[in-house]
Structure 1
């Protein structure tokens, strides 16, 4: 166990320690479910699996319920325990991370809905290769951001933030290719528009994964790195 993690592991009140561990565990469970949703939505799209797409959409409500439950627990701890220092950062970070996780779940549901549309059209459009590549990339970002939280690892969190820039570039390239294809074959417009929306949702998943990573950095270092460029973010991490 590293020194940063130890700071979040010892409390005078055993019950308080258990309450903090409970919301931490619940958040990681929610994150695991969201990560699975993203993966299943991509698989449903690539394999044309309408049933899997429907399951992804049905589970969105469970994610929303988890967010509400964890948020209520965070508010209760803040009101009753009035935590300070690292404990306060933990509760605040979790309350913010679950918002991004819920939004990742929303994007997975949107991808699943587009997958259903494409199955109904019955013809695989261009863009599946790009969706699969970017999709697995952003799913890995979500996984790594959650792992960084579990490990209290600010370096891994920064690596996730850095990956978001790569995803943004891949997204722009894929969008240009899809627009060019529509211009060359106007008959493909309806199908490719669905792919454009999928790509947009995947890019948003990457953005939310970066947000989670930034909350992890705040949790571990006590430094708010939101709205900073990568260079300034790295300089802030080196100062601490």
Structure 2
């Protein structure tokens, strides 16, 4: 979107079906593992974490598709598009969060996972600030409403990707420590409990 690459936007939009199909395949395989192997303890947590993670990854695919659709709409705009700086800034944070969450999941790294959880609060704050700014701009210039609304939908999708990255990081803590932190304030968690084993 930021580079105006409409072919890439079309490709992202069109790949959503593939992501959905992959989620179904992984869910089927996890169901087979549960039925045949009847895993316990950490093995069971691994299967449950994979099921949850694939659901979040599929939703990230949905959000990417929304971003692509809005990028295609914005590519047809003839007016100056406001909010691209905010999109770039938040997208950089969200990309890092997602990359770190996937790395934490692959390495069972609770320290990196907790960094992602804390980063989500920053993204949420940046998102709120950007939305206030864009709302003000729309009130000042009614001609920009269509393009600004598209930018707002993109920002919302990016914020949701950040939330899904946060979920992935929380699954790492569950997987490694057996601790469900989904509805906890990261600042109130005992650092000793989260230390690597």
Q: TM-score range by the shorter chain?
A: over 0.9
The farther-off stretch of 121-130 and 96-105 is 121-130
* Aligned-residue offset at 1:49: 1.7
Give the one of 152, 169, 172 matched to 1:216: 172
- Tell me the TM-score normalised to structure 1 length: 0.79
Q: Which residue matches 2:96?
A: 140
* Aligned-residue offset at 1:158: 0.5
Q: Which residue matches 2:50?
A: 94
Tell me the secondary structure at the aligned position of residue 224 of structure 1: coil
* Aligned-residue offset at 1:77: 0.3
User: 1:151 aligned to 2:107?
Assistant: yes
- Aligned-partner Cα distance in 1 for 2:64–2:48: 25
Q: Give runs of aligned pairs for residues 39-58 of structure 1, distance below 5 A.
A: 45-58=1-14
- Aligned-partner Cα distance in 1 for 2:32–2:66: 32
Q: Which residue matches 2:123?
A: 167
Q: Which residue matches 1:200?
A: 156
* Aligned-residue offset at 1:234: 4.5
Unaligned runs of 5+ in 2: none
User: 1:60 aligned to 2:19?
Assistant: no
What RMSD in Å do the two structures reach over aligned CA positions?
A: 1.5
* Aligned-residue offset at 1:220: 0.5
- Tell me the TM-score normalised to structure 2 length: 0.95
Q: Which residue matches 1:237?
A: 194
Tell me the secondary structure at the aligned position of residue 182 of structure 2: coil
The answer (yes or no) to whether the contact 1:157–1:217 under 8 Å persists in 2 is: yes
- Aligned-partner Cα distance in 2 for 1:181–1:163: 27
Aligned residues: 196
Which fold has the larger relative contact order, with Cα–Cα distance below 8 Å and residues 6 or more apart in sequence? 2
User: 1:227 aligned to 2:183?
Assistant: yes
* Aligned-residue offset at 1:124: 3.8
* Aligned-residue offset at 1:209: 0.4
- Aligned-partner Cα distance in 2 for 1:65–1:124: 38
Q: Give runs of aligned pairs for residues 60-139 of structure 1, distance below 5 A.
A: 60-139=16-95
Tell me the secondary structure at the aligned position of residue 205 of structure 1: helix
Unaligned runs of 5+ in 1: 1-44
* Aligned-residue offset at 1:233: 3.2
